[in-house]
Structure 1
């Protein structure tokens, strides 16, 4: 049995306007993948919160964040704009699992169904929320957010502010002072943003004139699976990275980027400088830390580690990482125009489909004596995918005590044996250093 609890909401910032830069990049990826790229999932409830409590949480999200009260509008010429509503209604889905399957399985089934079903961008709010009950008690909450409304950093803001509410009244700890999506889009039309875009275009152009046209050779049909996802982790790599960071005064992100470049050089030697598109949060920029809207954009990482020491490779990764971040905030249309122009001038296609996304946040200093490192390095899962846009995407997950990576690969461009070799070469680089 299921029901829907209607939840009214009201908030400031009603209006319409263009998509902000991060939204435009996300929308392009959603169109390419034919997916809402939804984020979220299932959380077990152990603190006796009721359906009323979750309805109040849903009202909080919808009222506080304009991104959750936004629908898309599509013009005949293909232009996409957004309309923010000042009030409306949404629904909390309630599913009773009495006498049937385990509530956890019911919750996972609901989350899977929501992931598979694209949002109706013109009619449906970009936040789906539901609870599963057994015996009248809530056992699980299911939340899915369309990527056009938020990125992982934005979801972290939402969770932090939810936890910071007044425990008696449920009111937020203070007013929402960050830009809402329409505010952000308006700021990106100002002269300072035009100068930021121009600087980014100069940086990208300097590299696009000289980098290898592709990190991959000609495609080879290796049969099924064409697209594959591999999840892999290494405790030894984590401990070695901590030790290397302490010795060099380096950031773990630089170490792993250097390892990726060095590993690729060992698998595909002589290809020239390593080139990857980094997924850059942009939340380090003034005024963007608490924005609830997608503000991640592509950054261009270029570094040559062939024949250099590990310390020098990490130093070059630092420079490449910082440059990629500095020039990853721009008008996506300007970058698209630049790429098309470079393809014409070079008379060859530029394949920028090696992606790197280090999702780890800041961590406290590692303890002086971590103890013996277990030898276990293992593949956690390997499964086929139905679609993959890039040819290789390495995502470093934000988990403690190990380096855990989710790697999506087009096996026509990089075979599974070569991918496994790449991961072990990355580990060897860090442990050996």
Structure 2
């Protein structure tokens, strides 16, 4: 079935900073760019049942009409492309102020030219109706890359039982939403099911964000972030993970190791409570220190993925705002307590640097490379995908060490290409804290990946109950 929608406007504009950042990542990962698809499953609330397929379609239509990113595709920039977000036609085509119309369906992940975002007012989104497992349906909808110019950036599935909808499945293109944006969409969907409406004003759309980022205020914000990148690029190692000297790599070269540890979860919560830090800062400091130990660098360098939802009007925006910040930690500070103390202001600087213009970053990267005579890129990412921060000083050492027996490590993914060499993802899992390491085995072997995760767990468990005196860098 299809869901028909009719929005209030159409338009086009250059990509936002967040869209440009993820588009560059997608291009460098293609044809394995399905890696960036992600989905959510919403069990229909009891008070909204019974829900018919027609009723679900009506709610989803309202959701798509409310959030313009869900009906925004990529298209070629118009000729003479002065930045402008606006222009409509009775047919829902996006038209630039000059009267030109972008060509839809022309943007592929391996195209060299940067496309524009194209908001379309009217159309229909296909829906898959299934009687199967909602998690399996989500995975099936997410397993293939999006056609960024010819497909809507949202795939929808309905799970039915005797003609009643029990679950709604949404799979997002990363150009349309990041993790927090997807949570906003799910929250709005739940409100529409229960109340029939979403309170409050409509959040800014990608078109409006692009207009603000091109304004004088937006340019000032970008300039402050650029200063941080420029100063740190003069002193960080050119890259964190060099290519292995033996030249060996797995086939395929990209692998993911996934550790689930209740002991690490309890230890991180305790450290955060005792030291007055966020659990994400604790993990970022430990991960950076351990990466420095593995590579032999005196500076720990990571690119944390930051939500960039610090402005009040963007908190409830369904779009992709997340970008990389630059986190730099001097590992010669001493033991882990000293490193954590230094990590707090370093993390704040990294978060501020994340809301930046990717063009600025590209220019700074190129300039720093010329000045230092070597390409500068950390290739070392940290992405805390949790939505809550829980601290707790109560776990005792015996309980935490006993929980080490429950730790599991699996290898859930392998593929040919990735835009990075070392990507650490943190998630909440039913069995504890989930830490996934996706890495290029040409830089870090699979045994080294496994050892890194287990050493990270050990470091944090030790630091939770005693001063780690030895420098960890």
TM-score by structure 1 length? 0.89
1:161-200 matches, within 5 Å, as: 161-165=188-192, 167=194, 170-176=196-202, 178-200=203-225
**2:81 is the counterpart of 1:51:** no
Equivalent in the alignment of 1:100 = none
Query: Secondary structure of the equivalent of 1:91?
Result: strand
Q: Distance in 2 between matches of 1:12 and 1:346?
A: 51
**2:233 is the counterpart of 1:205:** no
Query: Secondary structure of the equivalent of 1:350?
Result: coil
Which of 12, 17, 21 is the aligned partner of 2:13?
A: 17
Unaligned runs of 5+ in 2: 80-111, 464-473
More deviation, 367-376/210-219:
367-376
**1:4-57 residue CA offsets vs partner (Å, 9 max, x unmatched):** 1x3222233422111111011111112222225222155566854321232123
Task: Note if contact 2:269-2:393 (Cα within 8 Å) is conserved in structure 1.
Answer: no
Task: Note if contact 1:67-1:181 (Cα within 8 Å) is conserved in structure 2.
Answer: yes
**1:49-97 residue CA offsets vs partner (Å, 9 max, x unmatched):** 32123212321221110111212211489241122123333232324x5
Q: Distance in 2 between matches of 1:266 and 1:212?
A: 14
Query: Secondary structure of the equivalent of 1:363?
Result: coil
Which of 86, 110, 122 is the aligned partner of 1:87?
A: 122
Query: Secondary structure of the equivalent of 1:375?
Result: helix
More deviation, 394-403/131-140:
131-140
Deviation at 1:281, TM superposition (A): 0.7
Q: Distance in 2 between matches of 1:419 and 1:265?
A: 14
Unaligned runs of 5+ in 1: 98-102
- Indicate how the Cα distance of structure 1 residues 319 and 174 shifts in structure 2: closer, same or farther if over 3 A, else same: closer
Deviation at 1:367, TM superposition (A): 6.7
Q: Distance in 2 between matches of 1:39 and 1:56?
A: 23
**1:294-329 residue CA offsets vs partner (Å, 9 max, x unmatched):** 001110111122461221111122122111001111
- Indicate how the Cα distance of structure 1 residues 326 and 363 shifts in structure 2: closer, same or farther if over 3 A, else same: same
Task: Say how many residue pairs are matched.
Answer: 418
Query: Secondary structure of the equivalent of 1:398?
Result: strand
**2:68 is the counterpart of 1:66:** yes
Which of 260, 269, 277 is the aligned partner of 1:250?
A: 277
Equivalent in the alignment of 1:414 = 444
RMSD: 2.4
Q: Distance in 2 between matches of 1:85 and 1:223?
A: 44
Which of 308, 320, 327 is the aligned partner of 1:294?
A: 320
- Indicate how the Cα distance of structure 1 residues 414 and 117 shifts in structure 2: closer, same or farther if over 3 A, else same: closer
Query: Secondary structure of the equivalent of 2:174?
Result: coil
Which of 358, 362, 368 is the aligned partner of 2:388?
A: 362
Task: Note if contact 1:228-1:384 (Cα within 8 Å) is conserved in structure 2.
Answer: yes
Q: Distance in 2 between matches of 1:43 and 1:65?
A: 18
Which of 365, 375, 379 is the aligned partner of 2:409?
A: 379
Query: Secondary structure of the equivalent of 1:303?
Result: strand
Q: Distance in 2 between matches of 1:38 and 1:348?
A: 33
More deviation, 11-20/407-416:
11-20
Query: Secondary structure of the equivalent of 2:326?
Result: strand
TM-score by structure 2 length? 0.82
- Indicate how the Cα distance of structure 1 residues 132 and 286 shifts in structure 2: closer, same or farther if over 3 A, else same: closer
Equivalent in the alignment of 1:430 = 460
Q: Distance in 2 between matches of 1:315 and 1:367?
A: 18
Q: Distance in 2 between matches of 1:121 and 1:384?
A: 24
Task: Note if contact 1:267-1:421 (Cα within 8 Å) is conserved in structure 2.
Answer: no
Query: Secondary structure of the equivalent of 1:131?
Result: strand
Q: Distance in 2 between matches of 1:223 and 1:188?
A: 41
Q: Distance in 2 between matches of 1:283 and 1:23?
A: 15
**2:163 is the counterpart of 1:136:** yes
Which of 28, 33, 50 is the aligned partner of 2:24?
A: 28
